[in-house]
Structure 1
Protein backbone atom coordinates (compact mmCIF):
# COMPACT_ATOMS: atom_id res chain seq x y z
CA UNK A 1 0.00 0.00 0.00
CA UNK A 2 2.99 2.24 -0.43
CA UNK A 3 2.34 5.35 -2.52
CA UNK A 4 -1.37 4.65 -2.82
CA UNK A 5 -4.06 6.99 -1.63
CA UNK A 6 -5.75 5.39 1.36
CA UNK A 7 -8.50 6.32 3.79
CA UNK A 8 -8.29 4.36 7.03
CA UNK A 9 -9.99 4.05 10.40
CA UNK A 10 -8.18 3.25 13.63
CA UNK A 11 -9.84 2.11 16.82
CA UNK A 12 -8.20 3.57 19.91
CA UNK A 13 -7.82 1.78 23.24
CA UNK A 14 -10.68 3.89 24.64
CA UNK A 15 -12.97 2.64 21.85
CA UNK A 16 -13.02 5.88 19.87
CA UNK A 17 -12.49 5.88 16.12
CA UNK A 18 -9.97 7.97 14.20
CA UNK A 19 -10.32 8.49 10.45
CA UNK A 20 -7.37 9.57 8.34
CA UNK A 21 -5.85 9.80 4.87
CA UNK A 22 -2.35 8.85 3.75
CA UNK A 23 -0.39 8.00 0.64
CA UNK A 24 1.68 5.40 2.52
CA UNK A 25 -0.37 3.35 4.97
CA UNK A 26 2.48 1.33 6.49
CA UNK A 27 4.55 4.45 7.19
CA UNK A 28 1.53 6.26 8.66
CA UNK A 29 0.63 3.32 10.90
CA UNK A 30 4.23 3.22 12.16
CA UNK A 31 3.99 6.94 12.95
CA UNK A 32 0.76 6.41 14.91
CA UNK A 33 2.31 3.47 16.77
CA UNK A 34 5.37 5.57 17.68
CA UNK A 35 3.17 8.36 19.02
CA UNK A 36 4.15 10.67 16.17
CA UNK A 37 0.88 10.42 14.24
CA UNK A 38 -2.16 12.58 14.75
CA UNK A 39 -2.42 14.40 18.04
CA UNK A 40 -5.76 12.68 18.64
CA UNK A 41 -4.26 9.18 18.67
CA UNK A 42 -1.31 10.01 20.94
CA UNK A 43 -1.80 8.41 24.34
CA UNK A 44 -4.81 6.44 23.09
CA UNK A 45 -2.90 3.31 22.11
CA UNK A 46 -2.70 0.53 21.45
CA UNK A 47 -4.43 1.18 18.16
CA UNK A 48 -6.15 -1.26 15.81
CA UNK A 49 -6.47 -0.75 12.08
CA UNK A 50 -10.17 -1.46 11.52
CA UNK A 51 -10.73 -0.28 7.94
CA UNK A 52 -8.83 0.88 4.89
CA UNK A 53 -9.76 1.65 1.31
CA UNK A 54 -7.48 2.53 -1.59
CA UNK A 55 -8.35 5.23 -4.13
CA UNK A 56 -6.97 6.01 -7.57
CA UNK A 57 -6.34 9.68 -6.82
CA UNK A 58 -5.55 11.94 -3.91
CA UNK A 59 -8.66 13.98 -4.66
CA UNK A 60 -10.93 10.91 -4.52
CA UNK A 61 -9.34 9.75 -1.26
CA UNK A 62 -9.60 13.14 0.40
CA UNK A 63 -13.26 13.41 -0.63
CA UNK A 64 -13.89 9.94 0.81
CA UNK A 65 -12.10 10.90 4.04
CA UNK A 66 -14.29 14.00 4.36
CA UNK A 67 -17.43 11.95 3.77
CA UNK A 68 -16.33 9.29 6.27
CA UNK A 69 -15.68 11.96 8.91
CA UNK A 70 -19.26 13.19 8.45
CA UNK A 71 -20.65 9.80 9.47
CA UNK A 72 -21.69 9.10 13.04
CA UNK A 73 -20.12 6.27 15.03
CA UNK A 74 -22.84 3.75 14.19
CA UNK A 75 -22.51 4.43 10.46
CA UNK A 76 -18.72 4.04 10.66
CA UNK A 77 -19.11 0.75 12.52
CA UNK A 78 -21.44 -0.51 9.77
CA UNK A 79 -18.79 0.35 7.16
CA UNK A 80 -16.14 -1.40 9.26
CA UNK A 81 -18.25 -4.56 9.60
CA UNK A 82 -18.98 -4.61 5.85
CA UNK A 83 -15.25 -4.21 5.13
CA UNK A 84 -14.32 -7.00 7.56
CA UNK A 85 -16.89 -9.37 6.05
CA UNK A 86 -15.95 -8.57 2.45
CA UNK A 87 -12.18 -8.77 2.99
CA UNK A 88 -12.13 -11.47 5.68
CA UNK A 89 -10.22 -8.96 7.79
CA UNK A 90 -9.86 -9.35 11.57
CA UNK A 91 -8.32 -6.36 13.35
CA UNK A 92 -7.50 -8.52 16.37
CA UNK A 93 -5.18 -10.76 14.35
CA UNK A 94 -3.64 -8.07 12.13
CA UNK A 95 -0.70 -6.34 13.77
CA UNK A 96 0.97 -3.08 12.85
Structure 2
Protein backbone atom coordinates (compact mmCIF):
# COMPACT_ATOMS: atom_id res chain seq x y z
CA UNK A 1 0.00 0.00 0.00
CA UNK A 2 1.15 3.50 -0.79
CA UNK A 3 0.48 6.91 0.70
CA UNK A 4 1.31 9.64 -1.78
CA UNK A 5 1.25 13.40 -2.33
CA UNK A 6 0.49 15.21 -5.54
CA UNK A 7 0.86 18.86 -6.40
CA UNK A 8 0.19 21.08 -9.40
CA UNK A 9 2.61 22.90 -11.73
CA UNK A 10 2.83 25.95 -9.50
CA UNK A 11 3.06 23.94 -6.25
CA UNK A 12 0.10 25.70 -4.63
CA UNK A 13 -1.91 22.64 -3.59
CA UNK A 14 -1.14 19.29 -2.02
CA UNK A 15 -3.32 16.23 -2.41
CA UNK A 16 -2.76 13.21 -0.16
CA UNK A 17 -4.09 9.81 -1.11
CA UNK A 18 -3.71 6.09 -0.52
CA UNK A 19 -3.67 3.27 -3.07
CA UNK A 20 -2.52 -0.27 -3.64
CA UNK A 21 -1.36 0.52 -7.20
CA UNK A 22 0.44 3.84 -7.49
CA UNK A 23 0.95 3.81 -11.27
CA UNK A 24 -2.73 3.08 -11.92
CA UNK A 25 -3.86 5.73 -9.46
CA UNK A 26 -1.61 8.38 -11.02
CA UNK A 27 -3.10 7.58 -14.42
CA UNK A 28 -6.59 7.97 -12.95
CA UNK A 29 -5.68 11.37 -11.52
CA UNK A 30 -4.32 12.48 -14.90
CA UNK A 31 -7.54 11.33 -16.55
CA UNK A 32 -9.60 13.63 -14.30
CA UNK A 33 -7.66 16.84 -15.01
CA UNK A 34 -10.13 19.61 -15.71
CA UNK A 35 -13.02 17.83 -14.01
CA UNK A 36 -14.30 20.43 -11.54
CA UNK A 37 -15.99 17.84 -9.31
CA UNK A 38 -12.64 16.16 -8.52
CA UNK A 39 -10.10 17.88 -6.27
CA UNK A 40 -7.14 16.87 -8.42
CA UNK A 41 -9.01 17.89 -11.57
CA UNK A 42 -10.10 21.25 -10.23
CA UNK A 43 -6.60 22.16 -9.04
CA UNK A 44 -4.65 20.36 -11.79
CA UNK A 45 -2.82 18.29 -9.17
CA UNK A 46 -1.28 15.33 -10.94
CA UNK A 47 2.45 15.63 -10.19
CA UNK A 48 3.76 12.99 -7.79
CA UNK A 49 6.22 14.59 -5.35
CA UNK A 50 6.17 12.13 -2.45
CA UNK A 51 5.21 8.58 -1.65
CA UNK A 52 5.84 5.96 0.98
CA UNK A 53 5.10 2.28 1.39
CA UNK A 54 2.94 0.94 4.18
CA UNK A 55 2.71 -2.65 5.30
CA UNK A 56 -1.06 -2.94 5.01
CA UNK A 57 -4.24 -0.95 4.27
CA UNK A 58 -4.92 -0.14 7.92
CA UNK A 59 -1.48 1.38 8.36
CA UNK A 60 -1.76 3.27 5.05
CA UNK A 61 -5.12 4.81 5.97
CA UNK A 62 -3.83 5.81 9.41
CA UNK A 63 -0.76 7.43 7.83
CA UNK A 64 -2.92 9.26 5.27
CA UNK A 65 -5.08 10.70 8.07
CA UNK A 66 -1.97 11.68 10.03
CA UNK A 67 -0.46 13.53 7.05
CA UNK A 68 -3.74 15.27 6.26
CA UNK A 69 -3.70 16.67 9.81
CA UNK A 70 -0.26 18.22 9.42
CA UNK A 71 0.38 21.86 8.65
CA UNK A 72 1.43 22.84 5.15
CA UNK A 73 4.92 23.66 6.46
CA UNK A 74 5.33 20.20 7.98
CA UNK A 75 4.18 18.54 4.75
CA UNK A 76 6.63 20.67 2.75
CA UNK A 77 9.47 19.64 5.04
CA UNK A 78 8.58 15.95 4.58
CA UNK A 79 8.52 16.34 0.79
CA UNK A 80 11.81 18.28 0.77
CA UNK A 81 13.53 15.53 2.74
CA UNK A 82 12.38 12.94 0.20
CA UNK A 83 12.41 15.00 -3.00
CA UNK A 84 14.42 18.22 -2.36
CA UNK A 85 13.65 19.84 -5.73
CA UNK A 86 9.96 18.88 -5.75
CA UNK A 87 10.45 17.48 -9.24
CA UNK A 88 7.61 15.31 -10.48
CA UNK A 89 8.53 11.69 -9.82
CA UNK A 90 8.37 9.38 -12.83
CA UNK A 91 7.92 5.89 -11.40
CA UNK A 92 9.56 4.30 -14.44
CA UNK A 93 12.83 6.22 -14.11
CA UNK A 94 12.99 7.16 -10.45
CA UNK A 95 15.96 5.55 -8.72
CA UNK A 96 15.24 6.52 -5.11
CA UNK A 97 13.71 4.45 -2.37
CA UNK A 98 10.31 5.23 -0.86
CA UNK A 99 9.99 5.79 2.85
CA UNK A 100 8.80 2.70 4.68
CA UNK A 101 6.20 3.14 7.42
| TM bin (shorter chain) | 0.7 to 0.9
CA–CA distance in structure 1, aligned partners of residues 55 and 90 of structure 2: 25
Q: Structure 2: 5+ residue runs without aligned partners?
A: 92-101
Q: TM-score, normalised by structure 2?
A: 0.75
More helix by share: 1
Q: How large is the Cα RMSD of the aligned pairs? A: 2.5
Q: Give structure 1 stretches of 5+ with no counterpart.
A: none
Q: Taking structure 1 as the reference length, what is the TM-score of the superposition?
A: 0.79
Tell me the residue number matched to 1:70: 69
Alignment length, in residue pairs?
Answer: 88
Alpha-carbon contact 2:8-2:43 (below 8 Å) kept:
yes
The 5-angstrom pairing of residues 39-58 of structure 1 reads: 39-45=38-44, 47-58=46-57
Distance across 1 between alignment mates of 2:75 and 2:5:
9
Please identify, of 28-37 and 66-75, the stretch whose mean Cα deviation from structure 2 is larger: 28-37
Higher normalized strand content (fraction of residues): 1
Q: Distance in 1 between matches of 2:87 and 2:48?
A: 6
Q: Is the 8 A contact 2:6 2:15 kept in 1?
A: yes
Structure-2 change in CA distance of 1:46 and 1:59 (3 Å): closer
